Chains A and B, each alone.
Chain A
Amino acid sequence: MGFDWFTLVAQLVNFVLLLVLLRVFLYRPVLGVMQQREERLAATWAEAERARAEARAEAERLAADRAALEAERRARVDRIEGEMQRLRDQRLAEVEAELEADRARRLASLERARQRAVERLRHRSAELLLAELRASLTDLADAELEERVTAVFARRLAALEPERLEQLRAAAKAHAPVVTTAFPASAEQRERLAALLRDTLGGERPPRFESDERLLFGVELTVGALRVAASGRQRVAALEVAFDEALSELASLAAGGAHGA
C-alpha cells in the first residue's frame, strides 16, 4: 500500500473543485430559495400578525360597541319598564279611583234608592194611615158630629185673634162669605151658622152655603182669600203636615247616619 503524493494533491484539488461546484449548483440556489421563502414567510407572518392585531382591535371595538349597545338597551329597557310601571300605577290608581267612584255612586244610588224606598214606605204608611183615618172619620161623620164640629167652629171663630177677626170682617165687606160643609147643611144648621156669622162678621153680605164631601166633616169659612176651618180635611191636612215634617226629620237623620257610616 503506497502513498501517492500526486493523488493527494489531485484529491485536494478535486475537493476544492467539488466545493466550488456544489456551492454554485447546490448551496447558493438552495439557500437563496430558503432565504426567499423565509422572507416570504416572515412577511406573511408579519401580515398575519398585523391582521391579527387588526382583528383584535376590531374585536375590542365590536366588544365595546356591543357593551355600549347593551348598556343603551338596558337603559332603554329600564326606562320603558319605569314608564310602564308609572303608567301601570297611574292606570291602577285611575281604575281604583273609578272603582271607588263607581262604588260610591253605587252606594249613593243604593242609598238614594233605600231612602226613596223608605220615603215611599213612610209616605205610603202615612197615606194608608190617613186613608184609614179619613175612612174612619167618614164612617163616623153624622149629624151629631156635624153639630159638635159646628160648635167647635163657633168656638174657634170666637177665639180668633182680634187682628184676624178684623181682617175677616174687612174681607166680608168685599166678599160674600162662603160656608162649606161636608154634607148639605140643614136649614137649622144654616140659620145657626148665618146667625153666628152675623154676630161675628156683621150682616152686610149673607153667607153662601156649599157642600164638599172632601171636608170629611165640619165647616169651613172662606172670605176672599181668608179661611177659617174646623173640618176633617183641615185636621187631616194638619196631620199630613205633621207627618211630612216628621218624615223629613227622619230622612235627614237617616241621610246623616248614612254619610257618617
Chain B
Amino acid sequence: MTLSPDELVYFRLGPFPISATLVFTWVVMLVLVVTSWALTRRLRTSGALPYGQHMLEGLVAFLLDEIEGVTQHDPRPYLPFVGTLFLFILTSNVLGVVPGFQQPTGSLTTTAALAIAVFLAVPVYAVGRVGLARYLQSYLEPTPLMLPFTLIGEVTRTLSLAVRLFGNVMSGSVIAAILLSIAPLFFPVVMQAFGLLIGVLQAYIFAVLAIVYIASAATVSDERLRKAGATAPTDTLAEGGDT
C-alpha cells in the first residue's frame, strides 16, 4: 500500500519522474477543461437555458457569492484563482471514489503546490490592490518588531493549508485501504462516502481559506494605510478585471 501517489512512478522523462500525482492531475485537468469547453460551447443569452449552462452559472454564482461574502469587494478578479482551487480540489477528491484513481490531493507535493500558489497569490492580489510599497509597509505595522512574526505567520498558514488538505485526503485513503483489508464488504463503502463528504468539505475549506488570506492581506493593508491617513486605493483589480 502506498501512502502517496508520488510513490507511483509510471515512467521517467530523463531525470524527472512522472508519478501518479502528475498523471492524475492531468486527468483532472483534462476532465475540467473538456467539461468546461463542452458546456460553454453553446451558451445562450436568451430563451430556455441548457441544463449545463444552468449548472455552470449556478456554480459560478455560488463562487462569486462566497468570494463577495468574504472580501466585500467585486468578486470577479478573485474568481479564476479561487474557483480553480475549488474545482481542482473538488474534482480530485470526488474522483477518488473511482476505483484505481489516485487523488492528486493525496500527495503532499500537490497540496504544497496549491498552498504555495495561495502563498504567492496573497501578495499578488494585495499589491495589485494597494500597491507594492503600501503592501510591504503593512508588514511593518503596527511596529517593525512584528515583522518576523508576520513572516512566520505567512509561512505557517501556508504549511497548515498544505498539511490540512493532505492529511484529510491521505487519511481517508489510508483508512479506506485499512478497512478494505480488514472488512472488505461494508465499511469501505461507508468510509468512501464519508471520504467523499470530507473531500467536498476540504475543497470548500481550502478555497474559503485562500480567499480569506487574500482578502485579509488586502484589507489589512488597506486599513493600516487608511489609519495612517493615506488615500484609500481603488479597486484596480476590479477595474482591470477578467470579465
Contact = CB atoms under 8 A, between A and B. Distances in A.
Q: Is the interface of A mostly helix, strand, loop or mixed?
A: helix
A7 B32 contact: no
Nearest to A37: B45
Contacts of B6: 1-4, 7
Chain A: interface size category: 20 to 34
Contacts of A23: 80, 84, 242
Nearest to A29: B40
A31 B84 contact: no
B17 interface: yes
Chain B: interface size category: 35 or more
B109 A8 contact: yes
Nearest to A12: B113
Interface stretch (B18-26, B93-101, B196-204, B215-223): B18-26
B117 A4 contact: no
A81 B113 CA distance: 96
Q: Is the interface of B mostly helix, strand, loop or mixed?
A: helix
Given A4-B17, A40-B45, A12 B116 contact: yes
B43 A33 contact: yes
A28 B117 contact: no
Contacts of A15: 84, 88, 113-114, 117
Contacts of B60: 26-27, 30-31, 34
A241 interface: no
A11 B56 contact: no
Contacts of B36: 21-22, 25-26
A2 B242 contact: no
B90 interface: no
A35 interface: yes
B235 interface: no
B11 interface: no
Contacts of A9: 113
Contacts of B19: 4, 7
B22 A22 contact: no
A66 B95 CA distance: 70
B109 A22 contact: no
Contacts of B33: 18, 21-22, 25
Contacts of A7: 6, 17, 19, 21-22, 107, 109-110
Interface in A24-55: 25-37, 40
Contacts of B113: 8-9, 11-12, 14-15
B3 A30 contact: no
Given A4-B109, A8-B113, A22-B87, A29 B43 contact: yes
A19 interface: yes
B37 interface: yes
Contacts of A37: 45-46
Contacts of B242: 23, 27-28, 31
Interface string A158-199: 000000000000000000000000000000000000000000
B40 A22 contact: no
Interface string B39-67: 01001111000000100110011000000
Contacts of B81: 19
Given A3-B108, A18-B32, A32-B243, A25 B57 contact: no
B4 interface: yes
A223 B53 CA distance: 154
B104 A21 contact: no
B53 A33 contact: yes
A40 B46 contact: yes
13 contacts: A1-B7, A2-B6, A4-B109, A6-B15, A6-B17, A7-B109, A11-B21, A14-B25, A14-B113, A18-B32, A26-B60, A32-B243, A34-B60
Given A3-B6, A11-B113, A14-B113, 15 more contacts: A1-B7, A1-B108, A7-B110, A8-B112, A8-B113, A11-B25, A12-B113, A14-B29, A22-B83, A22-B84, A25-B36, A26-B36, A28-B243, A31-B79, A31-B243
Q: Which 10 pairs, one residue from A and one from B, show the smallest C-beta to C-beta distance? A: A11-B113, A26-B36, A25-B36, A29-B40, A7-B109, A19-B84, A33-B43, A8-B109, A23-B80, A12-B113
